[in-house]
Amino acid sequence: MQADTTQAHTEKTMAQNLNHALPPEEHTMLTVSSSRFGEIQANPDKIITMTSPFLGFPESKRFMLIPHGENTPFMWLQSLDDPQLAFVVIPALILVPDYNPALPAQARQELKAGEEDELNILLLLTIPHNNPQKMTANLLGPLMINPEQRLAKQIILDPNKWDPRWPVFTDDGK
């Protein structure tokens, strides 16, 4: 993984980009009782809406990012529609600094993003039970987020170019 300064900058930028304020009259808090975090309060200005749901989870369209803890790049993408559903994610640039897959024009349009708009890229992680050292990141199906609109879409890329099980840690544990 990259140096701590790059990680901190990426996390700070992502948090700033995803936390734009709505007008005061739209600040009605949403309360969700999640299986992992208990009761959580979701500010409308932090809710990320999927333009199309994750495969296999058609009812989950609204999510929020919850930090895993201090000094860690890992976050939880918690569904607000299904309290049992949460994905572990990480900003792509932390794991693969040169990861910048082309976004199809149709997907960019769904995200209401222009050609010059910067998108945040999150990678979904798979963590084997009792073996976190074998954790993998899905480079084939990244989550693209337009932080200005708080819209997200999972993009499926070329399987000949991108690995759905990219190792997060090398053999030496780094």
Delineate the domains of the chain, giving CATH numbers in brackets.
4-22+29-167 (2.30.290.10)
128-156 pLDDT per residue, tens: 999 999 999 999 999 999 999 999 999 99
Q: How far apart are CA 55 and CA 11, in angstroms?
A: 27
pLDDT tens digit string along 30-60?
887 777 777 888 888 889 999 999 988 999 9
pTM (whole model) above 0.95? no
